[in-house]
Amino acid sequence: MNWVSGIVVYTITWWVVLFAVLPWRVTTTDKMKQGNMAGAPDNPHLLYKGVWTTIIATVVFMGIYAVVASDLISFQDMTDQIGRY
């Protein structure tokens, strides 16, 4: 995996993990204000979620990189086999 594809894979992984982390620590407000939706979070904790997203995405990316670098799954062999059919 070269550095460009590594950045792309990490970015996609980060966004997928972000959408998994977004529901964490969501609490709705008891005091409704004009213009707020009923399900809007009282405090979204975005810094907390950003830090955890980065930590989890880095661990997941290291796993993906280890699999690709070790040729445990060879994507070149997969494309060669698909090309035969």
Span of 21-25, 35-39, 54-58 with lowest mean pLDDT: 35-39
- Indicate whether 70 belongs to any domain: yes
Residue 46 lies in a domain: yes
Total number of domains constituting the chain? 1
- 35 in a domain, yes or no? no
How far apart CA 35 and CA 19 sit, in angstroms, is: 25
Tell me the one-letter amino acid at 55. I
Query: Which residues form the domain of 11?
Result: 3-30+40-84
pLDDT band at 13 (very low <50, low <70, confident <90, very high): very high
- The percent of residues in the chain predicted with pLDDT above 70, rounded, is 98
Alpha carbons 49 and 34: distance in angstroms, whole number: 27
Backbone angles phi, psi at 63, to 5 degrees: -65, -45
Judged against a pLDDT cut of 70, whether residue 18 lies above it is answered with yes
Predicted TM-score of the model (pTM): 0.78
Q: How confident is the model at residue 84 (pLDDT cuts 50, 70, 90)?
A: low
